[in-house]
Amino acid sequence: MKLHGIRVPHKKNTAECAPVRMAVPASVTIPMSMHIGKPAKAVVKRGDKVKVGQLIGEADGFVSSNIYSSVSGTVQKVDEMTASNGAKIACVVIAADGQQEIFEEIVPPKVKDFDSFISAVRASGAVGLGGAGFPTFIKLGVKDLSKIDAVVINAAECEPYITSDTRTMLDKGEYVFKGIEALKKYMGVKRFIIGIENNKKAAVQKMQALAAQTDGVEIHVLPSVYPQGGEKVLVYNTVRKIIPKGGLPLDVGVIVINVTTLAFIAEYLETGIPLVEKCVTVDGSAVKEPKNVIVPIGTPIEALIEGAGGLKCDPAKVLYGGPMMGIAVPSLAEPVLKNTNAVIVMDEKEAKPPKTTPCISCGACLNHCPLRLDPRAIARAYKLQSGEDLEKLCVDLCMECGCCSYICPANRPLVQTNKLAKIKLREYAASKKAEQEKEEK
């Protein structure tokens, strides 16, 4: 099976910009849902004094994650906010005192075996920092460790503009390898593969130099073909295994972990300071001084933009993440989340969607889809509202990478149609299940 993709402009303008620590904002808004799964439950109330690293949101279910204060100050309110996806979620708003006092109960975790290691990862609040936001302790909490043949460390960072993972490798490379040693020690993994695109030469050299001093670590320098960092794509291009439909990397003996997530875990084991800040790339055609910044989680986007010299023009679109898979935000007051790796601000020219024309049946979307789906056929099936056809076309496999829309000469919104088609398929599957249950009764 040959996996396809597209060539996109790299625009890695900030790759050589070491992160700048910004001033603490006047206040932070910390959502209780910054991860896949059930939102955390707020454990503070208005008027409470909090410090950096103090628990403010307790995981409220197995698939959930602890949330900690990123500043020292006073809780202004426990409120509700509208997330970028339109959902209403709880949040904690904290007025910062600027002192950044560390919570006095913070100590490095005591880790002596696999169980205590997973408990420490859970306590850290770690989630997938590459954008997915899946609680890391669940990914690493494998019941049968003998099933793990390799850990693939995702350092591809294939989206245009984003360089925060690149800075992790350059500035915290030693922590990446301390994370590897922790997984060796507590999970018994012997093979590690770091997948990096070949447009990150300095990062490749740094990882290769550290790997030369560490047993069991391979550096796979991969072509800069988007979406190289997609989980299924990365697994195939590093270990030549195909994740089955509906399956996970573990089904083929692999765990995939983002490079910044791994470095954070190592740092947490050493310091005990949970996930309270992020390195974020601030870039885009409307930004005056693109750079990488380190900010407390919950910092409003407008503060990031101010830290990057402000705007050259009125923003036409602002994204969490990159231009291919990023999520548009409705306001500059939106906060930095655990999994925010970039904020991209576009001017009118860059953000304006191109004019759509009729499909010419060229097949470019099919030929460039990394999973060889047929967006043309999916679009037809969706137009007919045919759940049965959408099921046959495997639209649920779509990773929403946007290759089809990007490569389409007619500029058709194919990835958006795929997203709607997946909703239709879920409705169809639910209806079919209900009918079957009715017949069985």
CA distances from 110 to 141, 188, 269, 271, 307 (A): 17, 18, 8, 11, 38
Say what the pTM is: 0.94
> What does the pLDDT read at residue 82?
85
Burial of residue 413 (CB within 10 Å: 0-12, 13-18, 19+) is middle
Residue 431 predicted with pLDDT over 90: yes
CB 204 within 8 A of CB 162: no
Residue 266 predicted with pLDDT over 70: yes
Residue 43 predicted with pLDDT over 50: yes
Parallel, antiparallel, or unpaired: how do β-strands 291-296 and 317-320 relate?
Answer: unpaired
> What does the pLDDT read at residue 144?
95
Going by pLDDT thresholds of 50, 70 and 90, the confidence category of residue 437 is: confident
> What does the pLDDT read at residue 83?
82
The secondary element (H helix, E strand) that includes residue 74 is strand 73-82
> What does the pLDDT read at residue 148?
97
CB 338 within 8 A of CB 31: no
Average confidence (pLDDT) over 131-138: 88
Q: Which of 10, 8, 14 is closest to 163 using CA atoms?
A: 14
Q: What is the DSSP letter of 290?
A: -
Average confidence (pLDDT) over 334-338: 96
> What does the pLDDT read at residue 84?
76
Helix, strand, or coil here: 235?
helix
Residue 335 predicted with pLDDT over 90: yes
CB 20 within 8 A of CB 293: yes
Q: Which residues of 358-369 are buried (b: 16+ CB within 10 A; e: fewer)?
A: ebeeeebbbebb
Residue 343 predicted with pLDDT over 80: yes
Q: Which of 23, 21, 25, 29 is closest to 298 using CA atoms?
A: 29
> What does the pLDDT read at residue 3?
53
- For residue range 363-390, what is the model confidence (pLDDT) as tens digits? 999 999 999 999 999 999 999 999 999 9
Q: How far apart are CA 67 and CA 33, in angstroms?
A: 9
Going by pLDDT thresholds of 50, 70 and 90, the confidence category of residue 132 is: confident
Return the residue matching tokens 């402000």: 310
> Which amino acid is present at 417?
T
Please provide the average confidence, as pLDDT, over all residues in the chain: 95
- For residue range 139-198, what is the model confidence (pLDDT) as tens digits? 999 999 999 999 999 999 999 999 999 999 999 999 999 999 999 999 999 999 999 999
- For residue range 201-221, what is the model confidence (pLDDT) as tens digits? 999 999 999 999 999 999 999
Average confidence (pLDDT) over 339-360: 95
Average confidence (pLDDT) over 233-237: 96
Residue 418 predicted with pLDDT over 60: yes
Three-state SS for the chain is CCCCCECCCCCCCCCCCCCEECCCCCEEEEECCCCCCCCCEECCCCCCEECECCEEEECCCCCCCCEECCCCEEEEEEEEEECCCCCEEEEEEEEECCCCCECCCCCCCCCCCHHHHHHHHHHHCCECCCCCCCEHHHHHCCCCHHHCCEEEEECCCCCCCCCHHHHHHHHCHHHHHHHHHHHHHHHCCCCEEEEEECCCHHHHHHHHHHHCCCCCEEEEEECCCECCCCHHHHHHHHHCCCCCCCCCHHHHCEEEEEHHHHHHHHHHHHHCCCCCEEEEEEECCCECCCEEEEEECCCEHHHHHHHCCCECCCCCEEEECCCCCCEECCCCCCECCCCCCEEEEECHHHHCCCCCCCCCCCCHHHHHCCCCCCHHHHHHHHHCCCHHHHHHCCHHHCCCCCHHHHHCCCCCCHHHHHHHHHHHHHHHHHHHHHHHHHHHC
Angle between helices 259-271 and 173-187 (to 10 degrees): 80
Residue 1 predicted with pLDDT over 80: no
Residue 307 predicted with pLDDT over 50: yes
CB 410 within 8 A of CB 370: no
Q: Which of 86, 163, 130, 91 is closest to 329 using CA atoms?
A: 86
